[in-house]
Protein backbone atom coordinates (compact mmCIF):
# COMPACT_ATOMS: atom_id res chain seq x y z
CA UNK A 1 0.00 0.00 0.00
CA UNK A 2 1.08 3.58 -0.71
CA UNK A 3 2.38 5.39 2.37
CA UNK A 4 0.47 8.55 3.23
CA UNK A 5 1.85 11.49 5.21
CA UNK A 6 -0.36 14.46 6.08
CA UNK A 7 1.12 17.88 6.84
CA UNK A 8 -1.08 20.26 8.82
CA UNK A 9 -0.27 23.88 7.97
CA UNK A 10 1.14 25.68 4.93
CA UNK A 11 3.38 28.28 6.53
CA UNK A 12 7.14 28.22 6.13
CA UNK A 13 7.50 25.35 8.65
CA UNK A 14 4.75 23.23 7.10
CA UNK A 15 5.97 23.62 3.52
CA UNK A 16 9.58 22.94 4.52
CA UNK A 17 8.52 19.79 6.37
CA UNK A 18 6.43 18.56 3.44
CA UNK A 19 9.31 18.92 0.98
CA UNK A 20 11.71 17.12 3.31
CA UNK A 21 9.26 14.22 3.66
CA UNK A 22 9.05 14.03 -0.14
CA UNK A 23 12.84 13.96 -0.33
CA UNK A 24 13.15 11.04 2.08
CA UNK A 25 10.05 9.16 0.85
CA UNK A 26 9.79 9.99 -2.87
CA UNK A 27 7.14 7.32 -3.47
CA UNK A 28 4.85 8.34 -0.60
CA UNK A 29 1.66 10.34 -0.95
CA UNK A 30 2.19 13.66 0.86
CA UNK A 31 -0.82 15.91 1.47
CA UNK A 32 -0.81 19.42 2.89
CA UNK A 33 -4.03 20.44 4.63
CA UNK A 34 -4.33 24.11 5.58
CA UNK A 35 -6.83 26.89 5.96
CA UNK A 36 -4.43 29.66 4.92
CA UNK A 37 -1.82 29.93 2.18
CA UNK A 38 0.77 32.45 0.98
CA UNK A 39 -0.18 36.01 2.00
CA UNK A 40 -2.81 34.72 4.43
CA UNK A 41 -0.16 33.04 6.59
CA UNK A 42 1.80 34.58 9.44
CA UNK A 43 4.99 33.55 7.63
CA UNK A 44 4.23 35.92 4.75
CA UNK A 45 4.57 38.95 7.00
CA UNK A 46 7.94 37.92 8.39
CA UNK A 47 10.82 40.23 7.51
CA UNK A 48 12.86 37.08 6.94
CA UNK A 49 16.37 38.19 7.82
CA UNK A 50 18.61 35.45 9.20
CA UNK A 51 19.12 37.06 12.59
CA UNK A 52 17.86 34.45 15.08
CA UNK A 53 17.24 35.56 18.64
CA UNK A 54 17.10 32.68 21.11
CA UNK A 55 15.53 34.91 23.73
CA UNK A 56 12.47 35.14 21.47
CA UNK A 57 12.44 31.47 20.48
CA UNK A 58 14.18 29.43 23.16
CA UNK A 59 15.11 25.79 22.81
CA UNK A 60 15.70 23.21 25.51
CA UNK A 61 19.21 22.74 24.10
CA UNK A 62 21.41 25.52 22.71
CA UNK A 63 23.41 22.85 20.89
CA UNK A 64 20.24 21.58 19.24
CA UNK A 65 19.20 25.13 18.36
CA UNK A 66 22.56 25.80 16.73
CA UNK A 67 22.20 22.61 14.67
CA UNK A 68 18.74 23.62 13.45
CA UNK A 69 19.97 27.11 12.59
CA UNK A 70 23.07 25.89 10.79
CA UNK A 71 21.03 23.46 8.70
CA UNK A 72 18.65 26.27 7.80
CA UNK A 73 21.44 28.68 6.91
CA UNK A 74 23.15 26.05 4.74
CA UNK A 75 19.88 25.46 2.89
CA UNK A 76 19.27 29.17 2.28
CA UNK A 77 22.89 29.62 1.22
CA UNK A 78 22.42 26.80 -1.29
CA UNK A 79 19.38 28.58 -2.74
CA UNK A 80 21.13 31.96 -2.82
CA UNK A 81 24.02 30.50 -4.77
CA UNK A 82 21.71 28.81 -7.28
CA UNK A 83 19.94 30.32 -10.28
CA UNK A 84 16.67 30.10 -8.35
CA UNK A 85 17.72 32.56 -5.65
CA UNK A 86 15.79 35.58 -7.03
CA UNK A 87 12.60 33.57 -7.63
CA UNK A 88 12.85 32.00 -4.16
CA UNK A 89 13.38 35.40 -2.55
CA UNK A 90 16.73 34.59 -0.95
CA UNK A 91 19.22 37.46 -1.13
CA UNK A 92 22.44 38.41 0.65
CA UNK A 93 22.45 41.59 2.74
CA UNK A 94 24.76 43.33 5.18
CA UNK A 95 24.17 46.01 7.75
CA UNK A 96 24.39 47.22 11.31
CA UNK A 97 22.93 46.55 14.74
CA UNK A 98 23.18 49.16 17.50
CA UNK A 99 22.81 48.81 21.28
CA UNK A 100 23.25 50.87 24.44
CA UNK A 101 23.92 47.84 26.62
CA UNK A 102 26.71 45.36 26.12
CA UNK A 103 25.23 41.95 25.39
CA UNK A 104 26.57 38.52 24.49
CA UNK A 105 27.61 38.07 20.89
CA UNK A 106 24.80 36.52 18.80
CA UNK A 107 24.67 32.85 17.86
CA UNK A 108 24.38 33.67 14.16
CA UNK A 109 27.92 35.13 14.04
CA UNK A 110 29.19 31.57 13.51
CA UNK A 111 27.10 31.29 10.33
CA UNK A 112 27.28 34.80 8.86
CA UNK A 113 29.51 35.49 5.88
CA UNK A 114 31.14 38.17 7.98
CA UNK A 115 30.74 39.56 11.49
CA UNK A 116 32.61 42.27 13.40
CA UNK A 117 32.19 44.35 16.54
CA UNK A 118 32.20 48.06 15.72
CA UNK A 119 34.86 50.19 17.36
CA UNK A 120 33.93 53.52 18.92
CA UNK A 121 35.50 55.25 15.95
CA UNK A 122 33.37 53.24 13.53
CA UNK A 123 30.24 54.04 15.54
CA UNK A 124 31.01 57.76 15.45
CA UNK A 125 31.27 57.69 11.66
CA UNK A 126 27.69 56.46 11.40
CA UNK A 127 25.02 59.14 11.99
CA UNK A 128 22.74 56.90 14.06
CA UNK A 129 25.75 55.22 15.68
CA UNK A 130 26.50 58.35 17.67
CA UNK A 131 23.45 57.60 19.81
CA UNK A 132 24.65 54.14 20.78
CA UNK A 133 27.54 52.73 22.80
CA UNK A 134 27.90 49.39 21.03
CA UNK A 135 27.39 48.02 17.57
CA UNK A 136 27.91 45.09 15.20
CA UNK A 137 28.23 44.76 11.46
CA UNK A 138 27.33 41.48 9.78
CA UNK A 139 26.73 39.96 6.37
CA UNK A 140 23.87 37.48 6.23
CA UNK A 141 20.84 36.31 4.23
CA UNK A 142 17.31 37.59 3.76
CA UNK A 143 14.46 35.18 2.97
CA UNK A 144 11.42 37.04 1.64
CA UNK A 145 8.45 34.78 2.29
CA UNK A 146 6.20 36.48 -0.25
CA UNK A 147 8.49 34.84 -2.82
CA UNK A 148 9.77 31.91 -0.78
CA UNK A 149 6.38 30.39 0.14
CA UNK A 150 5.11 30.20 -3.48
CA UNK A 151 8.51 28.82 -4.51
CA UNK A 152 8.26 26.07 -1.90
CA UNK A 153 4.69 25.27 -2.93
CA UNK A 154 5.73 25.07 -6.58
CA UNK A 155 8.48 22.64 -5.61
CA UNK A 156 6.05 20.60 -3.50
CA UNK A 157 3.51 20.27 -6.32
CA UNK A 158 6.23 19.44 -8.85
CA UNK A 159 7.23 16.56 -6.58
CA UNK A 160 3.68 15.20 -6.79
CA UNK A 161 2.30 16.69 -3.58
CA UNK A 162 -1.41 17.13 -2.88
CA UNK A 163 -3.04 20.20 -1.34
CA UNK A 164 -6.38 20.45 0.48
CA UNK A 165 -7.77 23.84 1.53
CA UNK A 166 -9.58 23.07 4.77
CA UNK A 167 -9.59 24.07 8.43
CA UNK A 168 -9.15 21.05 10.67
CA UNK A 169 -11.47 21.67 13.62
CA UNK A 170 -11.03 18.34 15.38
CA UNK A 171 -8.59 15.44 15.37
CA UNK A 172 -11.26 13.16 13.90
CA UNK A 173 -11.17 15.31 10.73
CA UNK A 174 -7.57 14.33 9.99
CA UNK A 175 -7.78 11.81 7.13
CA UNK A 176 -6.44 8.27 7.29
CA UNK A 177 -2.66 8.35 7.08
CA UNK A 178 0.47 6.68 8.40
CA UNK A 179 1.45 9.84 10.26
CA UNK A 180 0.37 13.48 10.47
CA UNK A 181 2.88 16.28 11.06
CA UNK A 182 1.46 19.20 12.99
CA UNK A 183 2.89 22.50 11.75
CA UNK A 184 -0.15 24.62 12.62
CA UNK A 185 1.69 27.11 14.80
CA UNK A 186 -0.92 29.07 16.71
CA UNK A 187 -3.62 26.60 15.65
CA UNK A 188 -1.96 23.96 17.84
CA UNK A 189 -3.36 25.68 20.92
CA UNK A 190 -6.93 24.90 19.92
CA UNK A 191 -6.55 21.61 18.03
CA UNK A 192 -4.11 19.93 20.43
CA UNK A 193 -4.93 21.87 23.61
CA UNK A 194 -1.41 23.28 24.00
CA UNK A 195 -1.83 25.97 26.63
CA UNK A 196 1.92 26.63 26.56
CA UNK A 197 1.31 28.62 23.38
CA UNK A 198 0.97 32.39 23.73
CA UNK A 199 0.46 35.14 21.13
CA UNK A 200 2.84 38.00 20.39
CA UNK A 201 1.34 40.52 17.98
CA UNK A 202 3.67 42.30 15.60
CA UNK A 203 3.35 45.25 13.21
CA UNK A 204 5.44 45.93 10.13
CA UNK A 205 5.05 48.10 7.07
CA UNK A 206 6.68 47.98 3.67
CA UNK A 207 7.76 51.05 1.72
CA UNK A 208 9.28 51.73 -1.67
CA UNK A 209 12.87 52.83 -1.06
CA UNK A 210 15.21 51.24 -3.64
CA UNK A 211 18.12 53.39 -2.46
CA UNK A 212 18.29 51.52 0.85
CA UNK A 213 20.88 48.76 0.42
CA UNK A 214 21.87 47.94 4.04
CA UNK A 215 19.85 46.90 7.06
CA UNK A 216 19.71 48.67 10.42
CA UNK A 217 18.66 47.00 13.68
CA UNK A 218 18.10 48.95 16.90
CA UNK A 219 18.57 47.26 20.26
CA UNK A 220 17.56 43.62 20.38
CA UNK A 221 15.57 43.95 17.20
CA UNK A 222 13.18 46.41 18.82
CA UNK A 223 13.06 48.31 15.54
CA UNK A 224 14.57 47.61 12.16
CA UNK A 225 14.96 48.59 8.51
CA UNK A 226 15.38 45.62 6.16
CA UNK A 227 15.91 46.07 2.40
CA UNK A 228 14.40 43.43 0.13
CA UNK A 229 14.20 42.80 -3.60
CA UNK A 230 11.04 44.84 -4.12
CA UNK A 231 10.64 47.04 -1.06
CA UNK A 232 11.92 47.84 2.43
CA UNK A 233 10.38 46.44 5.61
CA UNK A 234 10.09 48.71 8.67
CA UNK A 235 9.24 47.37 12.09
CA UNK A 236 8.41 46.26 14.63
CA UNK A 237 6.18 45.75 17.68
CA UNK A 238 6.05 42.83 20.12
CA UNK A 239 2.79 42.86 22.05
CA UNK A 240 2.86 39.81 24.32
CA UNK A 241 -0.56 38.32 25.02
CA UNK A 242 -2.26 40.29 22.24
CA UNK A 243 -4.72 38.08 20.34
CA UNK A 244 -6.18 40.79 18.08
CA UNK A 245 -4.76 42.26 14.87
CA UNK A 246 -4.89 45.98 15.67
CA UNK A 247 -4.36 48.25 12.65
CA UNK A 248 -4.26 51.46 14.69
CA UNK A 249 -2.49 54.08 12.50
CA UNK A 250 -0.63 55.45 15.53
CA UNK A 251 1.36 52.24 15.82
CA UNK A 252 2.50 52.35 12.21
CA UNK A 253 3.23 56.08 12.42
CA UNK A 254 5.44 55.48 15.43
CA UNK A 255 7.39 52.81 13.57
CA UNK A 256 7.89 55.22 10.69
CA UNK A 257 9.06 57.99 13.02
CA UNK A 258 11.70 55.75 14.62
CA UNK A 259 12.93 54.53 11.24
CA UNK A 260 13.02 58.09 9.87
CA UNK A 261 15.38 59.02 12.69
CA UNK A 262 17.74 56.32 11.44
CA UNK A 263 17.34 57.09 7.73
CA UNK A 264 15.70 60.50 7.10
CA UNK A 265 15.44 59.63 3.41
CA UNK A 266 12.60 57.25 4.28
CA UNK A 267 10.31 60.10 5.29
CA UNK A 268 8.55 60.36 1.93
CA UNK A 269 8.91 56.74 0.85
CA UNK A 270 5.47 55.54 -0.34
CA UNK A 271 3.86 52.74 1.64
CA UNK A 272 3.23 49.40 -0.01
CA UNK A 273 1.60 47.35 2.74
CA UNK A 274 0.73 47.46 6.43
CA UNK A 275 0.77 44.13 8.22
CA UNK A 276 -0.22 42.81 11.63
CA UNK A 277 0.44 39.21 12.57
CA UNK A 278 0.12 36.98 15.63
CA UNK A 279 3.39 35.16 16.17
CA UNK A 280 2.95 31.61 17.54
CA UNK A 281 5.24 31.73 20.57
CA UNK A 282 5.94 28.92 22.98
CA UNK A 283 8.39 28.54 25.87
CA UNK A 284 10.35 26.17 23.62
CA UNK A 285 9.93 24.74 20.14
CA UNK A 286 7.89 21.57 20.22
CA UNK A 287 9.47 18.90 18.04
CA UNK A 288 8.37 15.49 19.26
CA UNK A 289 6.18 12.47 18.55
CA UNK A 290 2.84 11.63 20.08
CA UNK A 291 0.34 8.80 19.67
CA UNK A 292 -3.32 9.71 20.18
CA UNK A 293 -6.45 7.54 20.26
CA UNK A 294 -9.12 9.14 18.07
CA UNK A 295 -12.43 7.31 17.90
CA UNK A 296 -11.53 3.78 16.77
CA UNK A 297 -8.08 4.50 15.37
CA UNK A 298 -4.59 5.33 16.50
CA UNK A 299 -3.26 8.61 15.18
CA UNK A 300 0.50 9.09 15.02
CA UNK A 301 1.50 12.74 15.28
CA UNK A 302 4.83 14.51 14.86
CA UNK A 303 4.71 18.03 16.28
CA UNK A 304 6.80 20.81 14.75
CA UNK A 305 5.67 24.24 15.94
CA UNK A 306 6.25 27.05 18.42
CA UNK A 307 8.99 28.87 16.47
CA UNK A 308 7.72 32.30 17.45
CA UNK A 309 9.45 35.24 15.76
CA UNK A 310 12.19 32.98 14.35
CA UNK A 311 10.08 30.75 12.15
CA UNK A 312 12.09 31.37 8.99
CA UNK A 313 15.45 30.92 10.71
CA UNK A 314 14.53 27.58 12.29
CA UNK A 315 12.20 26.33 9.55
CA UNK A 316 14.46 24.11 7.45
CA UNK A 317 16.44 22.72 10.38
CA UNK A 318 13.41 21.61 12.37
CA UNK A 319 11.74 20.38 9.17
CA UNK A 320 14.63 17.99 8.56
CA UNK A 321 14.19 16.42 12.00
CA UNK A 322 10.39 16.38 11.79
CA UNK A 323 10.54 14.63 8.41
CA UNK A 324 12.87 11.96 9.79
CA UNK A 325 10.49 11.37 12.69
CA UNK A 326 7.58 11.10 10.26
CA UNK A 327 9.41 8.55 8.13
CA UNK A 328 10.13 6.45 11.21
CA UNK A 329 6.41 6.38 11.94
CA UNK A 330 5.62 5.42 8.36
CA UNK A 331 7.96 2.44 8.64
CA UNK A 332 6.38 1.42 11.95
CA UNK A 333 2.91 1.67 10.45
CA UNK A 334 3.92 -0.34 7.37
CA UNK A 335 5.50 -3.10 9.45
CA UNK A 336 2.16 -3.72 11.18
CA UNK A 337 0.16 -4.24 7.99
DSSP per-residue string spanning 228-283: -SS-EEEE---EET--S----HHHHHHHHHHHHHH-GGGTTPPEEEEEEEEEEE-S
Per-residue pLDDT of the chain (337 residues; tens, 9 = 90+): 689 999 999 999 999 999 999 999 999 999 999 999 988 888 888 889 999 987 655 555 678 999 999 999 999 999 999 999 999 999 999 999 999 999 899 999 999 999 999 999 999 998 788 889 999 999 999 999 999 999 999 999 999 999 999 999 999 999 999 999 999 999 999 999 999 999 999 999 999 999 999 999 998 888 999 999 999 999 988 888 888 888 899 999 999 999 999 999 999 999 999 999 888 898 889 999 999 999 889 999 999 999 988 999 999 999 999 999 999 988 665 544 4
Angle at 90 between CA 50 and CA 280, to 5 degrees: 50
List the one residue out of 43, 48, 83, 85 whose CA is nearest residue 278. 43
- Taking only Cα atoms into account, the Rg of the chain, rounded to an integer number of angstroms, comes to 20
Say how far apart CA 310 and CA 30 lie, in whole Å.
26
Q: Are strands 286-294 and 297-305 parallel, antiparallel or unpaired?
A: antiparallel
Say how far apart CA 30 and CA 15 lie, in whole Å.
11
Where are the chain's structural domains? Answer: 4-335
Say how far apart CA 212 and CA 227 lie, in whole Å.
6
Over residues 221-253, the pLDDT tens digits come to 889 999 999 999 999 888 888 888 888 999 999
Inter-residue contact 280 to 304 (CB < 8 Å): no
pLDDT at position 1, please?
Answer: 65
Topology of domain 4-335 in CATH is Rossmann fold (3.40.50)
List the one residue out of 9, 1, 5, 54 whose CA is nearest residue 31. 5
Say how far apart CA 36 and CA 280 lie, in whole Å.
15
Q: Is 279 helix (H, G, I), strand (E, B) or coil?
A: strand
Q: Is 301 helix (H, G, I), strand (E, B) or coil?
A: strand
Say how far apart CA 21 and CA 159 lie, in whole Å.
11
How many CB atoms within 10 Å of residue 103? Answer: 11
Inter-residue contact 301 to 289 (CB < 8 Å): yes
Say how far apart CA 337 and CA 334 lie, in whole Å.
5
Say how far apart CA 100 and CA 271 lie, in whole Å.
30
Q: Helices 12-24 and 145-158, interaxial angle, to 10°?
A: 30
Amino acid sequence: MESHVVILGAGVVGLSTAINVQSILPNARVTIIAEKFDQETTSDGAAGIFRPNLELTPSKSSQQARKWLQNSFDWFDHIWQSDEGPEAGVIRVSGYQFMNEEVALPIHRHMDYGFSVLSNEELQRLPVGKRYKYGWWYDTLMVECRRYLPWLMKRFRKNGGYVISQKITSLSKIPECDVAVNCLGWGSRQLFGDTDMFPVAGHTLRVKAPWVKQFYVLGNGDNFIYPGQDDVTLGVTREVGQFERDYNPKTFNRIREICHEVLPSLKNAPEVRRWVGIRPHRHDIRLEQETIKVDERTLRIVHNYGHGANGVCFSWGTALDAARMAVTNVKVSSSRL
